[in-house]
Structure 1
Amino acid sequence: MDQEIWKEFPQDLFEAVVSRLPIATFFQFRTVCLKWNAFIDSDSFSRCCTELPQTIPWFYTITHENVNSGQVYDPSLKKWHHPVIPALPKKTIVLPMASAGGLVCFLDIGHRNFYVSNPLTKSFRELPATSFKVWSRVAVGMTLNGNSTSHGYKVLWVGCEGEYEVYDSLRNMWTKRGTIPSNIKLPVLLNFKSQPVAIHSTLYFMLTDPEGILSTTWSLGNGSSRSYRAHHT
């Protein structure tokens, strides 16, 4: 390309075009130059992406034989991707527990630590230590504060004894901690089939005894109240 011609090309128009590329193609474009590689951290590019129609979500999967190596499936292109997250611990079991906005929350059940990573960009963060001991049988939810990860995110975990904590990425700390109300039968029996789902500020997950659904609502803003409701089948 003739640089004299293309150097005046409007930045906002260029971002609008690039944001519509397939994700795999976009990541190939990032290798062209530093400027294109920096798009992923650009606020204007993030806003451009959020204004696009909702795309089909990708799926992060693992196998029992190798839980630390996940595969990502793109249903629109019907293609598997095999990203590598170098920072994940190699000598212990790390399980994906929740996801939001392209981020995946992992739990290291050996050391009871949480990690958040974007498998495609290879961004990685180890979350601060929790106040409670976190065992493998927990329900974990994750939600974005806004339309993109640039607005931050929150992670909530609830343990079998009713203890819970909320992590705020903007403050990089567990901001809320406590136990669920006494009217909820304890211990909350959880397993890997509890299938937690986070919607806005509410985490829903299956109970095994008694059978039913427990919804846990936590505060996303200062002064908001928290409520807990058990619905039995």
Structure 2
Amino acid sequence: MELNNSQSKRTSLKRKSPENGDCLLSNSGSLDDLNEDLFERVLSWLPTSTFFRLSTVCKRWKSAADSASFKLACSQIPSRDPWFLMVAPSLSQSIIFDSAESSWKRLNHPPPPLQEDSNQSCMPVAASGGLICYRQSSGNFILCNPVTGCRRYLPPLNLAQQNQPLNAVVMSSSVSTYKIVLVFGELPFLSFISYDSNNGCWEDETALRRTVDDNSMEYDSSDDNVVYFLSKAGNVVASNMQRSPSKQFSSVITNKDGEEIVYFLSSSGTVVACNLTSKCFSEYPRLLPAFCEYSIDVVECNGEMLVILLSEFLESASLRVWKFDEANRSWHQIAAMPAAMSHEWYGKKADINCVGVKGQIFICLNSPELCTYVVCDLRTKEWIELPKCCIKGQVMEFMSAFSFEPRIEAFV
């Protein structure tokens, strides 16, 4: 279902002359003349939104959606333009932004929170490939393909693990398998546990040791019952309030030279790197002094961890993208929002919640006064503000987004 202010591109089924280079069908033949195998391979290259629109053309097109051979053909498509599942304050929306068509849409299959007839609240916490991971208020997890509505309830964690502070939830996936990693504990006592779809169970908990050359700050874990978040003054504040609960486990996973590394934000706003392969962790140096006002998030782009930072300095706001140089143990700026765009956020006490996909970063900026969605293209250094999402004349506000590829063949 298309929403207001969409700019979707429609695909025409009209026959065009052969000399027209962008024709879908020519006078010399028709898709109906193709054998089933070739017909499904052609359909598999269509953008997902276009395929679902065209599946109403005839019974043959509609039946392809349920065909095992068609799903196999779809799985052989290297990548698809991402969709972004938007998270509203109520956690009860099923709105996505389709980057292929630059339009807002409703999901045909609402996520688990809208389908469950229970008192369990549920929110998205991670995404990879064509799947999204949801966490229930009980601490259990659900895997869901948002395009088809297929889902799987993962085995519950044991009570000891559920009672530990949860720092990070990350997910990685391939065509037919997926893996979920949870990082538990209070610094410097961290451990992780993972679920592998090949085994169908949670593996044993593994402790992480601090690297010898990690000159980290001292930690105070005197009160394990207090919920911490990073205030706009950069201090650790005790509270039971958080603007974006879906991003409280904001984290990413990368694979460098065969080593899996999970990155997450500590309660004091520093980046913690957990090497799952060597079973150790380290804490990166601060980007800004603790007394500076800022909002921070981590993303993964092209296999690298990046940090996005919104800060204020000399009566102006600045939103910048940073990369960590492992050799020199220092941060380097790689992109910055134009001052004309970032200045409007000065004094607004805004939060940023970001997600990376390929060479782009999708950023949700929220404040009590403004709500904007921006895409930063790291290849071209362009910053593009997305159109507003309107439902029944009302502009929707979203706190965060999760990126996934719309794949009907994604297995749960």
Q: TM-score, normalised by structure 1?
A: 0.76
**SS state at 1:59 partner:** strand
Residue equivalent to 2:94: 70
**SS state at 1:44 partner:** helix
Residue 90 of structure 1 and its aligned partner are, at CA, apart by: 4.7
Please, which moves more after superposition, 38-47 or 89-98? 38-47
User: Residue 207 in 1 paired to residue 270 in 2?
Assistant: no
- The structure where strand makes up a greater share of residues is 2
Change (3 A) 1:67 1:133: same
Matched-pair contact (CA < 8 Å) for 2:165–2:185: no
User: Residue 126 in 1 paired to residue 168 in 2?
Assistant: no
User: Residue 14 in 1 paired to residue 30 in 2?
Assistant: no
Residue equivalent to 2:168: 139
Change (3 A) 1:27 1:6: closer
User: Residue 36 in 1 paired to residue 95 in 2?
Assistant: no
How large is the RMSD of aligned CA atoms in angstroms? Answer: 3.2
Residue 19 of structure 1 and its aligned partner are, at CA, apart by: 1.5
Residue equivalent to 2:283: 230
Please, which moves more after superposition, 122-131 or 181-190? 181-190
Please, which moves more after superposition, 34-43 or 157-166? 34-43
Mapping for residues 1-233 of structure 1, pairs under 5 Å: 9-28=34-53, 32=59, 35-39=63-67, 44-50=72-78, 54-64=79-89, 66-83=90-107, 84-85=110-111, 87-88=115-116, 90-108=118-136, 110-131=137-158, 132-133=161-162, 137-144=166-173, 146=174, 148=175, 150=176, 152-161=177-186, 162-181=190-209, 191=229, 192=247, 195-200=250-255, 201-209=260-268, 211-219=269-277, 225-233=278-286
Q: Distance in 1 between matches of 2:69 and 2:121?
A: 30
Q: Distance in 2 between matches of 1:217 and 1:8?
A: 54
**Larger-Rg structure:** 2
Matched-pair contact (CA < 8 Å) for 2:172–2:179: yes
Q: Distance in 1 between matches of 2:184 and 2:144?
A: 22
Q: Structure 1, unaligned stretches of length 5 or more? A: 220-224
**SS state at 1:38 partner:** coil
Q: TM-score, normalised by structure 2?
A: 0.46
Matched-pair contact (CA < 8 Å) for 1:137–1:190: no
**SS state at 1:129 partner:** coil
Give aligned pairs, total. 214
Deviation string for 1:140-159 (max 9, x for gaps)?
Answer: 00001x3x2x1x01001112
**SS state at 2:156 partner:** coil
Of structures 1 and 2, the one scoring higher in RCO (CA 8 A, sep 6+) is 2
Residue equivalent to 1:222: none
The AA in structure 2 aligned to 1:59 is F
Residue 47 of structure 1 and its aligned partner are, at CA, apart by: 3.7
Q: Distance in 1 between matches of 2:117 and 2:87?
A: 15
Deviation string for 1:95-139 (max 9, x for gaps)?
Answer: 11110012101111x211111101111011111011311678531
Residue 231 of structure 1 and its aligned partner are, at CA, apart by: 1.6
Matched-pair contact (CA < 8 Å) for 2:135–2:142: yes
Change (3 A) 1:46 1:21: closer
Q: Distance in 2 between matches of 1:138 and 1:16?
A: 42
Q: Distance in 2 between matches of 1:11 and 1:175?
A: 43
Deviation string for 1:54-98 (max 9, x for gaps)?
Answer: 43321111111x203332110221222222135446523211111
Q: Distance in 1 between matches of 2:43 and 2:130?
A: 18
Change (3 A) 1:7 1:106: same
Q: Distance in 2 between matches of 1:56 and 1:36?
A: 21
**SS state at 2:50 partner:** helix
